[in-house]
Structure 1
Amino acid sequence: MKIGEVDNGDWFKSNVCTVLGKADSIRFWQIRWLGNVSLQRLYQQLYSKALNYEDVITDVGFWNEGNWKWQLQWAMELLTTEMEALSELTCMMTDIISPTPDSPDIRK
C-alpha cells in the first residue's frame, strides 16, 4: 500500500483534507486526518483490535496540563509487531498533531 494512492480514480477523496480543530467530529480510525490514508487502512492490524472503531479523536486522548496525551484502548492484547506499529503511530501523532480546543474541525 502506498500512502496517497488514489483508488479507482477517486479525485474528490484524494483532494479533500481534514483540518483538526476540537477533534470532536473526526473519526480517529476512519477519516483521513493524518496523511493521505485513513489510519484504518494504514494500520489494519491495530484497527482490528481497537476497542471502539467509531471513536472520534477526542475519545482516544485527553488534555493534561495543557498538553494533549494520546490514550488508545484495545479490545485484546497487542502482539509484538502490533506494539511496534503502535509505537510508530504514537510517535507520528505526538510529533505532529494535537487538537486545537478553540477551533472547529474543517473539511476542505
Structure 2
Amino acid sequence: MKEIDARTVQEKLDQGESLNIIDVREAEEVAAGKIPEADHIPLGLIEFRENELDKNKEYIMVCRSGGRSGKATQYLESRGYNVTNMRGGMLDWEGSVQ
C-alpha cells in the first residue's frame, strides 16, 4: 500500500498541484472540518460509490488517523484504482480546513 504524509500533501496543494482527495470519515467528523479540496465518501459507502471514481486518476485517501483510509486504500487498490493512504490522517493535518 502506498502512503504519503500530511505535510507532503499540504506542500503539493501549496504548490498548486491538483489532487483528488477522498475523506472517508463519517459525516459528523467531516462537519467538524475537512481538507477544502477533499470529496467525502464515508468508508461504509466506498464499495457502493466506487463507480464515481476514475481508474485513470490518482486518489489520496484521508480519515482521522490513517486506519480507515488505509482500509479504503487497500480495498480500492484491489479493485484496480491508483490510491495512496495519507498516513496520520487529519490528526497530522496542519493546513486549512472547511
TM over 0.5: no
TM-score with structure 1 setting the length: 0.24
TM-score with structure 2 setting the length: 0.26
Larger Rg: 1
